[in-house]
Amino acid sequence: MEINKVISEIEFLSKKLPFEVSLMEICGTHTMSIGKNAIRQILPEKVNLISGPGCPVCVTPINEIDQIIELSSLKDVIIFTFGDMLKVPGSKTTLFKKKASGSSIKMCYSPNESLKYAIENPDKKVVFLAIGFETTAPLTATVIQNALKNNVRNFYIYNLHKIVPPAIHFLLDKDKNLNLDAFLCPGHVCAVIGSKPFGFISENFMKPAVISGFAPLDILESILIILKQILAGKPETVIQYTTVVKENGNIFAKNLINDIFDIKPSYWRGIGFIENSGLFLKNKYCYFDAKKVFDIKSINSKEPKYCDCGKILLGEKKPFDCKLFASKCTPENPVGPCMVSSEGTCAAYYKYERFREK
């Protein structure tokens, strides 16, 4: 379907809506695409897009950031990390500043780079910061398997993996404040775990859910599907991103995750503990767990004053509602994690939307 036709249909259906509908995307890539392509501005006034906790860097607790920064100070420890983590502020400093002051911190694009370095440098202790949702967990699982296979004893992960469906369940449980009407579900996550884990949204909570692709047409088509479901009063969990996502997901990738990780409660920054939302190394792989292997000093972590990242992650506020946004908090000098990550809501608004609406 042509994009102009989809936009026209959305405008037509919006006139039939008896109330303003709020749709939440739980994916940083969706958030960036929505901002880059001015989708929020294209939509009728009755269709409100809200960004949820779809950025794994943003929901990583500040005490974990502080612990990682402390770990980087230990002798012979080399930290490998994806780029977004470098500038996330801890209570006092960042990994980027620690690197500038002499700590051994390397940016990588794959966990395999860290394992290769550990094999080539057996006198060093190599720690990979394993962060991400179900999308990146299979990569971490694979590198753990390879380390075990090659008997690499100087390689560890600092595990920060979380899973998405329980977070949506948490949001729906507290929906009295949020008034969410439907969800755009994350295409990348669903490529791994499939659409089934998101079925509870329509089955238990009677709200539409569409697993969407990331192109402007994908997102607009998904919104159109949601509006049709709302008007028909028939909520379903639907796959729009059919070229990539299947109902049962990627069986091989899911088996990798299940072999390496257990599911337990996990703390989400700005949100709190969410049941069954974290991936933790099974006991038989505990010697790869940096949190257990290294004696990391306990730190009294403090959230930055006046930062509204927690409420932004919950969808209770938008970046424009934060008094620090685009003034004290910018991508060059971020205060909160939502301004740091390439998938952060504040970063998306700063880059694409700050001059479009106030």
Query: Is residue 152 scored above 90 in pLDDT?
Result: yes
CA pair distance 92, 94, nearest whole angstrom: 7
- CA dihedral 347→240→207→3, nearest 10 degrees, is 70
Q: Region 156-165: what's the mean pLDDT?
A: 98
CA pair distance 138, 133, nearest whole angstrom: 10
Residue type, 36: K
pLDDT digits (tens, 9 = 90+) for 262-284: 999 999 998 999 999 999 999 99
pLDDT digits (tens, 9 = 90+) for 325-354: 999 999 999 999 999 988 999 999 999 998
pLDDT of residue 355: 83
Exposed, middle or buried by CB within 10 Å (0-12, 13-18, 19+), for 70?
middle
Domain boundaries, the chain: 62-161+250-293, 309-348
Q: Region 39-45: what's the mean pLDDT?
A: 95
Q: Which CATH class is domain 62-161+250-293?
A: alpha beta
Would you report the helix, strand and coil content of the chain in percent, each value rounded to 5? 45, 20, 40
- CA dihedral 18→167→337→300, nearest 10 degrees, is 130
Is 342 or 219 the better-scoring residue by pLDDT? 219
pLDDT of residue 178: 67
Grade residue 358 by pLDDT with cuts at 50, 70 and 90: very low
Query: Is residue 208 scored above 60 in pLDDT?
Result: yes
| Prediction pTM value | 0.94
pLDDT digits (tens, 9 = 90+) for 247-264: 999 999 999 999 999 999
Exposed, middle or buried by CB within 10 Å (0-12, 13-18, 19+), for 118?
buried
Residue type, 291: K
Contact 245/191 with Cβ under 8 angstroms? Answer: yes
Contact 94/86 with Cβ under 8 angstroms? Answer: yes
Q: Percent of the chain having pLDDT more than 70?
A: 98
Mean pLDDT of the chain: 95
